Structure 1
């Protein structure tokens, strides 16, 4: 049975299971992207995790900002539900 989507007026609209899965995937991608933004802001380029993941040659503030903006904040701003 499809999952209901509730609106503020408590009117149920039924969507297919496939569409529901896509909606949840978009939501989850945004949660992960937001977590990455927060982690990058908190740890910065000096953390061992940053250097291990992105490499020591990318341990510059400008690179961190570019990664954050073009890879993670772009997901938050541009990824839309189907």
Structure 2
């Protein structure tokens, strides 16, 4: 089996701003994050309609449980 870093989808959010905020939050906790967004949703019109603004956040497989825990805590605090 390859020792290459394996990335796992952590979550999908609507909009680049929220994605970048979550990326910064997770990186501050020591978790690497890769952000992926279809070009049309970001460069042509920065919209969040019908999935065009959908942004995916990927983290290393060995950090996914820690990242999910941090994401859950973030979402709970956001709802309060």
Q: TM-score, normalised by structure 2?
A: 0.28
Q: Decide which structure has the larger Cα Rg and report it.
A: 1
Q: Going by fraction, where is strand more abundant, 1 or 2?
A: 2
TM-score of the superposed pair, with normalisation by structure 1: 0.27
